[in-house]
A and B are shown apart, each in its own frame.
Chain A
Amino acid sequence: MATGSGFSAQTLSVLAALSDQPSEWRHGYALAKHTGLKSGTLYPILIRLADRGLVEACWQDEPQPGRPRRHLYRLTADGIAVAGAALAAAAESQARQRARAPLTKRGATARAVP
């Protein structure tokens, strides 16, 4: 789906989730619940964002007892800037599409009238 930002809708949802509190480290399951993405979709997106230097990742310092250490993610400085611009562009594109839809309907009606 075209979002007008250069990112897919799923990637934008991950960027949006990470942008909520950019300084906070988030773990994968929280991101999955926030975005509604499955693990098979979420992690390749996180890998791509990390490859582009937009997301940084680290392992939890002190694991909770009885469970393995978690991998945590947050936006880098570049990531915050890029995410902000991409989300703004996507919102603008969505607004344009919303504005164009009634016009198209009106035009179609006008052409239909003899």
Chain B
Amino acid sequence: MSEFGRAGDAMRRAALQIVPAARRDWVDAVWAESPDVPPGWRRLAWRAGGVQLIVREALMQRRIGTALLFAVAAGAAAWAAWPGPPSYLAISNHRALVVAVIVVLAGLPLLARRLFGPVSRSRTARALRVCTYAAVLALIPARNVIEGFRDVPPRGGLDLRVYAVVNTEHRVARTESFDGFMFLVIIALCVSAVLWLTSQRSRVAPGTLGIGAIGGITVGAAVYAVAPLGLSKAATNPWLPGSDVDPLVSLAWLLVIFAPPAAAFVAHRRYTAAGTATAPAAGARQILGAGLLTNLVGALLVSALGTGTTALTLKEAWLRDWLYHGQRQFFGIAGLRSLLHGDLAAIAYSHELTAAVDGSIFLVMCAVFPLIGLALIALPVLDGLGSPEREPERSPEKEPERGRAATVRP
């Protein structure tokens, strides 16, 4: 074999690694025929068909497509989060965090595949994974805008005094690296939970995932409407004069607390009604799946939307004016009102700064909401999982294998 042929063969063997094992025989089969094809263009065309088969089978498995999509989205997120002078320590920390988050996001599915098995075959499961990744990737540049704004004190004047008052009021004694580490840990835990719930081995039914996702979108929308969308107590009071309890805030809390058990109940009922629950553990998995997913999706949604909106208020004056429409004074922080004296620019800066400082609350939600969901469904889950499984359960997404390996004669 010529040098050229040997190099081509080595490349083919390397390319075979991206083809599913069950299909490799077929690619080898194309190459096995090529000695019979007349040399020259015909043989080249025959081998090109083999390359086409490799690409087709690899893309069929969606591995390369998914990897490319992630690479593009992660690149865009990193590019958006990158600007800033590298001499600032905070900017360097942000950049290191961006890289760390992308590495974790890229590595977790590989780890999850090993620990939890491949992704469930339902479209709901795939959509949940894609949306989770989109939410986290959107968080990266949004968070960096907020951090960049919060970490740079004004050079002097009234803004510097506002900065001191707001930061003192919120008792901001933060260390950049610790914040970044916590962000990484919480995001990794949330993504891991979604990867587990949407894996084949978790045996959470696609219907359960759908119920959890719908519950989560409801929770997330309600919490987002409270803040930072502007429908906070200060904004709703003019519409409901005399009301001490903001109905929207109450609704959001009620949803955070009662949506997980409600979703768990509906998912369990739907699963048992379909006649698929042959053991208590199977039902417990549906309760756990729907209950946990509800607040997890809600927290990720409100984090992405909330952080994004806060970042936009820092960049876009029209949004800030719309969100804080008519609020010419600031009542939230003691000492600020007397300091501002109706100075509109300083009021605007105080709004921006407070929103930036409050932005970190969304990360707390990502950690706390799923725990609330877990706590509220713990009893039925523990009860179900503690019961012995009498018979093997039917996997909710059992489907025939797509690729059947060619029979290999010994």
Decide yes or no whether A114 CB sits under 8 A from chain B. Answer: no
Q: Is the interface of B mostly helix, strand, loop or mixed?
A: helix
- Give Cα A4 to B148, complex, Å: 65
Partner of A68, one of B23, B32, B403: B32
Neighbouring B residues of A42 by C-beta, 8 Å? 49
Contact pattern, A 3-32, Cβ under 8 Å of B = 1, otherwise 0:
000000000000000000000000111001
- Is there contact, CB below 8 Å, between A58 and B407? yes
The answer to whether B33 touches A28, judged by C-beta atoms less than 8 angstroms apart, is yes
A71 and B407 within 8 A (CB): no
Nearest chain A CB to B345 CB, angstrom units: 66
For A39, what are the chain B residues with a Cβ–Cβ distance below 8 Å? 30, 33, 45-50, 52-53
Q: Which residue of B lies closest to A67 (CB)?
A: B35
Which has the most chain A C-beta neighbours within 10 Å: B29, B47, B403?
B29
Contacts of A68 in B (CB 8 A): 28, 31-32, 35
Interface size, B (range):
20 to 34
Report yes or no: B56 in contact with A44, Cβ–Cβ below 8 A: yes
B42 to A: closest C-beta gap in Å: 10
Q: Look across to chain A and name the residue whose beta carbon is closest to the beta carbon of B408.
A: A59
B409 at interface, CB cutoff 8 A: yes
With A47-B23, A69-B32, A71-B406 given, is the CB distance from A40 to B53 under 8 Å? yes
Interface membership of chain A positions 57-72, coded 1 if the CB is closer than 8 angstroms to chain B and 0 otherwise: 1110100000111110
Tally of A interface residues using CB under 8 Å: 26
Q: Nearest Cβ in chain A — how far from B366, in angstroms? A: 43
Contacts of B28 in A (CB 8 A): 68, 71
Q: Is B391 an interface residue (CB 8 A)?
A: no
Chain A: minimal CB distance from B13 (Å): 13
B26 touches A46 (CB 8 A): yes
**Alpha-carbon separation in the docked complex, A68 to B50 (Å):** 16
**Chain A interface (Cβ < 8 Å from any Cβ of B):** 27-29, 32, 38-44, 46-47, 50-51, 53, 56-59, 61, 67-71
Interface residues of B (CB under 8 A from A): 23, 25-26, 28-33, 35-37, 45-50, 52-53, 56, 402-404, 406-409
